[in-house]
């Protein structure tokens, strides 16, 4: 079966790359075409033996993110919609089915995810290509226009499996309480390393804690804006967590998830902690999944701002605490039965957070949650095959 996969597969966020690799690995018995939702380069057939190298070596140009009104003018009046539709149609050529996922694709943003997903749905409907929504999250801040478009996308889908209960509740509301909507773990929980090895070093032999940093604007865009925190408060909180880590006799490394906007604040945090501790603090800004793997597998613990930094660290055998800057974070960890690893960044006692982190159990090399993702992908294929 030939399957088109629509995702943010060309993002510099390594979480998006991990999702894409997970789903393509699980579908490796099929002919796959990867189409980026927002990057305008042409779709490419995925060769499973070397697609990760090609993605890692590609150079992507960050596009200027326009405000919503101007983005919609470009989309509807200045030809952006037609250009994207042509690219999506090329990706769907001769395909038997399509998958939209995963990640927080059902949201209102200046990349116009809602409009783009709706265009993909229209093209699938015109060509009578069945499609599934797999491993997707639905945002809490949809406007009327985005909600109307995405409701149609959900209604037309042949299979829906979302990554948390909150997203399912939102989907059911958009569908008027009808339709079957399943919930499964985020696709990145099935991530397999480049080497396809499931053997990791014992975390007890690793005394490094990663402080995974996210840019202030995005970190405070949801839950905490009303608290009137500023970026100096954010840096001070990270210093407090660093003090707790030093007291626990852990080495500190600062890391990002590859997002350009995160690097500047990561460097500031590293400088501040280094001045306090009297030493140079390493900053890791990965440009690919391999680089992120090599870094994380040398550590034992992570305090994660970016949700997928926590998920990847979990897959690499680290002990994880995730900070709840968006309700998608708590939702994803609740889906796998581990809501206790999610903490409030601003109000939690750093010493108690570190104590909890150190005491956490380590998961198997390929934990049951990864198998649940495999089951969700299997169900997805069954539903798509039944419509061909």
What is the tens place of the pLDDT at every residue in 247-290? 999 999 999 999 989 999 999 999 999 999 999 999 999 999 98
User: Would you place residue 55 in the very low, low, confident or very high pLDDT band (cuts 50, 70, 90)?
Assistant: very low
- Nearest residue to 320 (alpha-carbon basis) of 307, 331, 120: 307
> Residue 380: its pLDDT value, please?
94
Whole-angstrom distance, CA of residue 109 vs CA of residue 111: 5
* pLDDT at residue 69, as a whole number: 84
Predicted model pTM? 0.89
Pick from 69-83, 235-249, 357-371: least confident? 357-371
> What is the chain's mean pLDDT, rounded?
87
Residue pLDDT, tens place only, 104-155 = 999 988 889 999 999 999 999 999 999 999 999 999 889 999 999 999 999 9
112, 119, 147, 173 alpha-carbon torsion, rounded to 10°: -140
Domains of the chain, each with CATH number or no CATH: 2-190+369-385 (3.40.50), 203-365 (3.40.50.2000)
Cβ-Cβ contacts under 8 Å for 119 (sequence gap 6 or more)? 81, 84, 85, 88
Q: What does 313-368 look like in DSSP terms, one character per residue?
A: HHHTT-EEEEE-SSHHHHHHHHHTT-GGGEE-TTTS-HHHHHHHHHHPPPPPSS-H
225 pLDDT more than 80? no
Condensed to tens digits (0 to 9), the pLDDT of residues 360-386 reads: 877 666 678 888 999 999 999 999 988
Give, to the nearest 10 degrees, the angle between helix 307-315 and helix 327-335: 30
CA atoms within 13 A on the CB side of 32: 25
């Amino acid at each position: 079966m030939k399957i088109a996969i629509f995702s943010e597969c060309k993002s510099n966020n390594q979480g998006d790359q991990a999702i894409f690799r997970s789903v393509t690995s699980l579908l490796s018995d099929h002919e796959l075409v990867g189409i980026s939702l927002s990057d305008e380069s042409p779709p490419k057939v995925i060769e499973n033996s070397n697609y990760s190298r090609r993605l890692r070596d590609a150079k992507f140009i960050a596009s200027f993110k326009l405000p919503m009104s101007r983005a919609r003018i470009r989309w509807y009046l200045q030809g952006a919609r037609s250009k994207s539709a042509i690219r999506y149609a090329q990706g769907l050529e001769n395909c038997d089915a399509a998958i939209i996922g995963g990640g927080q694709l059902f949201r209102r943003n200046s990349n116009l995810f809602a409009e783009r997903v709706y265009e993909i749905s229209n093209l699938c409907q015109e060509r009578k290509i069945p499609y599934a929504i797999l491993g997707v999250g639905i945002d809490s801040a949809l406007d009327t226009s985005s909600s109307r478009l995405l409701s149609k996308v959900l209604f037309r889908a042949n299979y829906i499996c979302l990554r948390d209960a909150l997203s399912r509740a939102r989907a059911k509301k958009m569908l008027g309480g009808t339709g079957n909507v399943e919930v499964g773990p985020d696709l990145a929980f099935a991530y397999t390393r480049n080497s396809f090895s499931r053997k990791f070093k014992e975390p007890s032999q690793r005394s490094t804690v990663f402080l995974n940093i996210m840019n202030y604007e995005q970190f405070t865009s949801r839950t905490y804006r009303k608290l009137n925190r500023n970026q100096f408060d954010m840096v001070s909180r990270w210093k407090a967590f660093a003090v707790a880590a030093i007291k626990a006799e852990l080495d500190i490394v600062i890391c990002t998830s590859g997002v350009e906007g995160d690097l500047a604040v990561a460097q500031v945090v590293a400088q501040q902690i280094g001045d306090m501790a009297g030493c140079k603090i390493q900053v890791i800004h990965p440009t690919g999944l391999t680089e992120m793997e090599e870094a994380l597998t040398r550590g034992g613990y992570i305090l994660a701002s970016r949700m997928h930094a926590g998920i990847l660290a979990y897959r690499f055998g680290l002990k994880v605490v995730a900070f709840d800057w968006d309700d998608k974070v708590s939702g994803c960890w609740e889906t796998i039965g581990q809501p206790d690893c999610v903490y409030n960044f601003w109000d939690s006692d750093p010493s108690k957070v570190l104590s909890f982190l150190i005491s956490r159990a380590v998961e198997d090399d390929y934990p049951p949650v990864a198998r649940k993702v495999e089951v969700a992908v299997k169900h997805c294929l069954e539903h798509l095959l039944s419509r061909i």
